[in-house]
Structure 1
Amino acid sequence: MKYLLTVLFLLIVSVGFSQDGQTVAAKSVPKKQPKAAFNQYRIITLQKDTTYVDTSLTIKKEYEYNYLRKDIFGLLPFANEGQTYTVLDFGLKNFNSFPEIGFSGKQFNYLGVNDIKYYSVATPVTELYFKTVMEQGQSLDAFITVNTSERFNMSVAFKGLRSLGKYINQLSSTGNFRFTSSYNTLNKRYYLNFHFTGQDFLNGENGGITTIENFESADGAYSNRARLEVYLKDAKSFMKGKRIFFDHNFRINAKKADNNLYITHQFNYENKFFEYNQQTVLSTVGDLDDVKRFGTSYVTSNINDHTRYNRLYNKVGAIYENSLLGKFQFFAENFRYNYYYDKILILNSGTIPSSLNDEINTVGGQYDYRKNKWNGTFTYSNSISNQPMSNFDAKLNYKLNDKNEFVFQYQMISKIPDHIYNLYQSSYVDYNWYNDFKNEKINNIEATAKTQWLDASLQVSSINDHLYFSNDATDPQQQIISPKQYDKTINYLSVKVSREFKWWKLALDNTVLYQQVDQQDDVLNVPKIVTRNSLYFTNYYFKKALYLQTGFTFNYFTKYYINDYNPVTTEAFVQNQTKVGDFPMLDFFINARIRQTRIFLKAEHFNSKITGNNFYTAPNYPYRDFMIRFGLVWNFFQ
């Protein structure tokens, strides 16, 4: 340990010298400039929730050091960085009454409107994220924000990834560009938030390994994963999207008083494009070289399926604010979409149109109350156009003190189906459908307690007319999926508890999730238990110049009928033949911080050679092998 600490210190001491350079230069200035306070580096969400730039090293930062840059408890990543995820925690699903494009496997790293943050900083701030990947590539995320004045902020960021992966045809190449700006007038009557995003995601789609017995065997020849045969050697999926968004409001009265009137407007224009390519249609499985993995196709080679989508959203509202009663908002929404292909298909089963397009208008109201220890938001909206939809969302927060807080939320929603359920066209014969599904109806209750003793949450959901994909193929070598609507009620219950125990310089951080589903058929499948436990040691070294964090993380979920993955649509689908789970995933990590730099080193899934090759993220899709990865997060304050 002593020599390891010395090496870590030598690796990062240059960072300290480079940052000290500004301090030395400052000594030559006759009048030393005062340092900005931490609360002058603000991160602001669209809902006006505010946090601050944080350069500390905690166990939470260890959990967030990944491709998605957030805690992924409840998500199981596929073998290569930048691929899709298997959802273990159904409670992570967010419900939106408006329809989306679909292709859910591409949406995990797609930054939506609520994922974009806005900033206000006293001095320019830069953050650099770097992490090694599986093979031939790297993961980078660079960000800079600056206030040209107290009233105007800009930020530019780009996250890029390239990783070849360990298996055949598993390349990931992605990019997320973000630009934001915030502005308010000198008299603070007008506020504006604006952002632009350009995002693209390219993935090799190998369809999984063909012979799991080779993977599970102890044969050393297959420790080189590129020797395992896969269903698809030249297929790939690609999604890109661009969005322009702004949210602004204007106060009618000249000076802010006990009674205020605001006019608000939100604008969102977004387009997305999805493409699936497969040059070779037939797959080889063992001695068979004519396996039609996705059934019969209209072409013998060079499948090239395109799906296009654009949407235009406007929300106009008026707010009356009273210092005693709170805020009363009335709004109208206009949502237009166009989901389309370049042809109309006339089949024996019927006609498949070339597009779905419509205009949805809603009216609604929102009440915000903030007084003393209470904070509540109550929203209701309802469609006044042909497509029926509604959303009622009530959230109440009670903050007893700085260490104890309670949140209660109820949502009743009638959701229009995502477009991929109602329309899809492909060169594969059985991947062409046109449906008119009913709205999904969801009633959801959540209660969360964040206390000085533990964090706990309870979720109870009742789902009617649930939409899902399932496999219609009778041949085990084939995947022929289609959308279905379940005509019975699904009841879902989850309880999640988190608690960290500390003693001396040791800590044990625990998160346990329990889930239960009440349904007549196996449509919504989840593991009963998902757990993550971290035992770690922390201490300062080199006169507190170096802060060290090292320990083990144990991840586990019980065996269940895990959803499979379909490359043609990048959608998960229900299967009831193969159970996956009941395998431990152990990581060993050593993290260090010096000033605003955090260094991460991890041995991922180091027990894989010991506990056997029975680990999967979906049938035929193995989980990640043991590997050592490292990187850093480096903040600059100028």
Structure 2
Amino acid sequence: MGGGGGGSSKMQRDTGKHVHELDTLTLTYRILGEPTDYKLDSSVNDFQSNYLRVPASYATTGNTGGAAYNMIYTPRMKPGFDAGFHAYDIYSNSHKDARFYYTTRPYTELQYLVGSKQEQVIGLTHTQNRTERFNFAFDYRKINAPGYYRSQNTNHDIYRFTARYQSKNKRANTYLSFYYNKINGGENGGLRYDSLMKNPNYSQRKTLPVNLGNGASTTYSFFGGAIPVKTNYRETGFLIQQQYDWGHGDSIHINDTLDIYKYDPVFRVQYSFNYESNNYQFLDTDADSAFYPKHYNFLPQGDTVTAKHQWKLISNDLSLIQFPVRGNLGHFINLGARFESLTGTFLDANINFTNLALHGEYRNKTRNQKWDFSLRGEFYAVGQNAGDYSAYGMLKRRINDFLGDVRLSVSNVNKEPSYVYKYFGSNRDAWYNTSLAKENITQLQFATENKKLDYTLAANYFLFTNYTYFKDYYHSAQYTSLFNLLQVTFSKKFTIKPFAWYVDVAFQQLHGNGPLNVPTFWTRNRFAFEKRLYTNLNLVTGLEFRYNTGYYADDYSPLTGQFIYQEKTKISNPLPDISAFANFRIKSFSAYVRAENLNTFLGDNNYAAPLYPYNNFAFRVGLRWWFIN
């Protein structure tokens, strides 16, 4: 079911004291398939989520914009075709998170961050209703960070455009989503020797020898620059969804001069066209003669090593939707089918295949917001991914303001392993694995959220069969036996005014011998002084500590763009990552001032992965303005 549309709620502006102000702007948004209106979050208490847009639990290869994965394990639970390149997903746009706005006045938001070593992040968002029935929105984000170590530059440009249109009689709706992700991630293969980190001759980290791009010169430019070894992703998506409704319309008399036309759909026909083009490339223009024989079993011939995988998807989806209860768009039955056509282009071959998927959903979100029940499923009946399926069930109940919301859910997915596990080709060699069976993952979840007591709790139990992974830099493998993972996450704010303690905790325990390594314990603690000073100054300042227990953190394979399982090097950082922050908001202006990696003054640099240390001390200032025109 499509999202979008308006609402009468005012925009909420959250302060560190959870005091809400009402602006003169009505601004809400929806995402496709979700009947709930959302509001913008303008709080300043969390730099990672509210500003940087990268969760604190993510580990990178050491630099802003670098390859990253979540230490709180989150398996991909989606059937059907998947190319398998996800190391930069956290920075990219997709259709599933596209926002379709409704606003009474044009709204613009600007963001700018500057940090040590010429790090810069720029953000621009604009949305406006051209008429009551048509809205468009544009979003741009640039991440540019040379990094502390050689050949580590990142330079990303992320674009998004969305629009929605509703006919005058409110029976026809159109939603358009377009994104373009331009990812340039410098790859250095990690340090050659981590023992050199303690050598005083290498106090300037750019002089440390690395495994890739060590002898090449790197040219920095905010709009480009030369990156000698890089991952180069180009991801384009275009989706248009059209709906036509049958139902009941009424004119509601407001006063002597105002009538509002309200239309309640009973039956809907929905058509979605989706086009995606994804180009994944690795390029090393000055190949190191030692790194490739050791990790990929080939000796570079000439000056360049490159790999290129390009995928194009065209899909057409037709759905029939019924709304059993008039006026409740959260109660519906959806039945549909989708036809997919995929084309893969590699350096040595091309392939084409098709899929036919059947899907259905029953959703009942009651108008009093107390109950939310969902059953949905998808089955690939014909094609390359025939036999893939997903099934999901969820029951959510709002108890009351004190006890909050409780949710129970179960999910099961059976899917082909990502294509990169079955084939990967470069201009030096190609590797195949044709013996992989379908993966099966089950997730059982209990979750609760309490806004009054200000906490969230989730307990997940995962079961894995035919778990697929990379056992080294280019060989994939499959663990056929059953194993499971218990995961508990908890977040809460404790307050003794004007002081606050924000705690985020994750506990993970693996049962069985599955090839999956996760930290047993991860936590982030923020100790803050937060208060509204004078009339409009909202201040949040304090210290942040992030820590996880030692574990065999995944290594990273630059050529294939994959995080890989390893059991040789255990990452045990003795000190937490320590930061000091001072965040504040004055009306429509916010600022984030941070001093990060203070732990480097007390000990050695912490490591994200084998041979991938985090940065030295860094200073960052982030600014955010929003304007109502």
Could you tell me the TM-score, scaled by structure 2's length? 0.87
- Mapped pair 1:62 → 2:54: no
Segments of structure 1 that go 5 or more residues without pairing to the other structure are 1-34, 344-353, 472-479
Partners of 1:81 and 1:133 within 8 A in 2: no
- The equivalent residue for 1:329 is 334
Distance 1:283 1:589 in 2: 44
* Residue of structure 1 aligned with 2:373, choices 358, 371, 376: 376
Q: How does 1:202-281 map to 2 (within 5 A)?
A: 202-215=184-197, 217=198, 219-233=199-213, 234-253=228-247, 255=249, 260-281=266-287
Query: In the TM superposition, what is the alpha-carbon distance from 1:408 to its structure 2 partner?
Result: 1.6
Query: In the TM superposition, what is the alpha-carbon distance from 1:340 to its structure 2 partner?
Result: 2.3
- The equivalent residue for 1:301 is 303
Partners of 2:165 and 2:173 within 8 A in 1: yes
Q: Deviations over 1:497-521 (max 9, x none)?
A: 1121101200001111000111224
- The equivalent residue for 1:116 is 98
* Residue of structure 2 aligned with 1:491, choices 469, 481, 484: 484
Give the letter aligned to residue 616 of structure 1.
Y
Give the letter aligned to residue 309 of structure 1.
W
- Mapped pair 1:526 → 2:518: yes
Query: In the TM superposition, what is the alpha-carbon distance from 1:298 to its structure 2 partner?
Result: 6.3
- The equivalent residue for 1:475 is none
Distance 2:306 2:88 in 1: 18
- The equivalent residue for 2:399 is 400
Partners of 2:173 and 2:244 within 8 A in 1: yes
- The equivalent residue for 2:70 is 87
Query: In the TM superposition, what is the alpha-carbon distance from 1:242 to its structure 2 partner?
Result: 1.0
Partners of 2:457 and 2:491 within 8 A in 1: yes
- The equivalent residue for 1:78 is 61
Distance 2:151 2:160 in 1: 29
- The equivalent residue for 1:365 is 360
- The equivalent residue for 1:553 is 544
Distance 1:253 1:86 in 2: 46
Q: Deviations over 1:239-291 (max 9, x none)?
A: 00111112232112463888711101222100011111112233469xxxx96
With over 3 angstroms needed to count, the CA separation of the structure-2 counterparts of 1:82 and 1:632, relative to structure 1, is same
Query: In the TM superposition, what is the alpha-carbon distance from 1:375 to its structure 2 partner?
Result: 1.1
Partners of 1:132 and 1:139 within 8 A in 2: yes
Q: Deviations over 1:432-468 (max 9, x none)?
A: 2252522111111111101233321000111111110
- The equivalent residue for 2:443 is 444
Q: Deviations over 1:407-426 (max 9, x none)?
A: 22111111122111112111
Give the letter aligned to residue 398 of structure 1.
R
Q: What SS class does the counterpart of residue 384 from structure 1 fall into?
A: strand
Matched-pair identity in %:
23
Distance 2:485 2:564 in 1: 18
Distance 2:243 2:512 in 1: 46
Across the aligned residues of Structure 1 and Structure 2, the Cα RMSD in angstroms comes to 2.1
Q: How does 1:42-191 map to 2 (within 5 A)?
A: 42-46=28-32, 47-57=34-44, 59=45, 61-67=46-52, 69-70=53-54, 72-90=55-73, 92-191=74-173
- Mapped pair 1:416 → 2:416: yes
- The equivalent residue for 1:339 is 344
Q: What SS class does the counterpart of residue 322 from structure 1 fall into?
A: coil
Partners of 1:267 and 1:313 within 8 A in 2: yes
Give the letter aligned to residue 51 of structure 1.
Y
Distance 2:172 2:299 in 1: 57
Distance 1:150 1:399 in 2: 33
Query: In the TM superposition, what is the alpha-carbon distance from 1:126 to its structure 2 partner?
Result: 0.5
Could you tell me the TM-score, scaled by structure 1's length? 0.85
With over 3 angstroms needed to count, the CA separation of the structure-2 counterparts of 1:402 and 1:111, relative to structure 1, is farther
Partners of 2:93 and 2:160 within 8 A in 1: no
* Residue of structure 2 aligned with 1:568, choices 556, 559, 563: 559
Q: How does 1:308-327 map to 2 (within 5 A)?
A: 308-323=310-325, 326-327=331-332
Distance 1:231 1:169 in 2: 10
Q: What SS class does the counterpart of residue 420 from structure 2 fall into?
A: helix
Distance 2:448 2:137 in 1: 34
Partners of 1:151 and 1:184 within 8 A in 2: yes
Q: What SS class does the counterpart of residue 515 from structure 1 fall into?
A: strand
Distance 2:123 2:263 in 1: 43
When the two structures are aligned, how many residues end up with a matched partner? 570
* Residue of structure 2 aligned with 1:622, choices 613, 619, 622: 613
With over 3 angstroms needed to count, the CA separation of the structure-2 counterparts of 1:298 and 1:172, relative to structure 1, is closer
* Residue of structure 2 aligned with 1:537, choices 512, 525, 529: 529
